[in-house]
Structures are given as structure tokens and as C-alpha cells.
A and B are shown apart, each in its own frame.
Chain A
Amino acid sequence: GEDVEQSLFLSVREGDSSVINCTYTDSSSTYLYWYKQEPGAGLQLLTYIFSNMDMKQDQRLTVLLNKKDKHLSLRIADTQTGDSAIYFCAGSISGGYNKLIFGAGTRLAVHP
């Protein structure tokens, strides 16, 4: 089945760019997602990319997809303290509905 892996922790300085990486195993994933979870809150959809795209940009967020290497990344430009959260990568697997398999999450800490 699908397996999604992420590094667990990333620390950046305010104003710098953050890059969160993710690898997945199921090449049939139609969409790949990034969700953000703030302390005590649910998962908030940040962005997603269709599997036939290489890149998607949305304001400060840039998603890069390398299908050959099954590698997905999320770049946050000009990282702010409000970006501190856990970021989850998720792939969708085939089976008649959009079943998501989540990575363990990357905790992003932004310091002054």
C-alpha cells in the first residue's frame, strides 16, 4: 500500500524560506496534498497538486513534484512565526474514492 514519509522536524529563522520534503510510494496518486495543523486544531488544507503537474505556486507557497523520484516538497517563502505548525503531506490512493494516506507530519519551528 501507499507509504508517505516526512522528516519530523524543521527549524528556520523568521524571514527565511522553509522547505518541507515528502516521499511517497504509490505512483498512481492522482492528487498530493499539504495540510497544516496548528496546536489544538484540526487539519487545514494548504494546497494540493495534480499528479500531472511539476509545480504549483500559491502566494508564499510553492509545491514541487518530482514523479520520477516520488518526491514532493513544500516551500514557504518569507516564513513567519504564524507558520509554526505541523505540516502533513498526503497522497491519495486508488480505490473508488479519495482515500488519503498521511505522513507523520513535519513540525516547523520559526524563531526570530
Chain B
Amino acid sequence: DAGVIQSPRHEVTEMGQEVTLRCKPISGHNSLFWYRQTMMRGLELLIYFNNNVPIDDSGMPEDRFSAKMPNASFSTLKIQPSEPRDSAVYFCASTRGRQETQYFGPGTRLLVL
């Protein structure tokens, strides 16, 4: 099992640019989570998908953030326009079911200059 795959692993961009983060969940998992980790706020849940449908997006910070899951094997988190305060590590996690254990990807380290 390849585990949760995220790309890119590192991203450096300038303020105002669009950033797209990608995630491939574990095969057979039907729930997907996006998290953000910062020193100040720790790990925060941004959005949760079940069967490709966004169920809980209450953690999405503002309209600059959007997430999609066009199929069971791919999700994106987009920030447009990016700001320096978006600098963080973004994790994707997946589970087999709604109540199952979450498995995390290696994360994307984003730096917005």
C-alpha cells in the first residue's frame, strides 16, 4: 500500500499567486480530510469529504481557499490569491469509512513570500 500521496512536498511562491496542493488517498478509502499545521494554531481541520462530497467545510479559513474532490482517487486544495499568513504545512488524510482511523500523508510545506 502506497499510503496517502501528496504533491508537491514543498512549495515556495510569492504573495498573490495561486497555489494548488494535491492529494491521492489510499485506495479503497472513501473519506478524505485536509488539515493545516502551524506553530501558532497547531493542527486544524480545513475540510472533510465523504464519497467525494464535501461534508464539513467549516474550517476553511476564507473564500481564498477552495477544495475539490472530482473522483475517489484525487483531491485538490487551492489558495487564490495566496498570502504570507497561509504559510504552513498542509496535510491530507484518508479513512476507509466515516468512523475509521485517519491515515496521514507526508504533507506539503508551503511558504508564501
Binding site for B on A (CB under 8 A): 30-31, 33, 35, 40-45, 48, 88, 95-100, 102-105
Contacts and interface: CB of A to CB of B under 8 A. Distances in A.
A42 B91 contact: yes
Given A42-B91, A88-B43, A105-B42, A98 B98 contact: yes
Interface stretch (B14-22, B65-73, B102-110): B102-110
Interface residues of B, number: 23
Nearest to B95: A98
B107 to A, nearest CB: 5
A89 to B, nearest CB: 11
Nearest to A99: B45
Interface of B: 4, 31, 42-43, 45, 48, 50, 55-56, 91, 93, 95, 98-107, 109
A65 B64 CA distance: 41
5 contacts: A42-B106, A43-B104, A88-B43, A98-B98, A98-B100
B98 A100 contact: no
A102 B43 contact: yes
A17 B103 CA distance: 27
Nearest to A35: B104
Contacts of B104: 35, 42-45
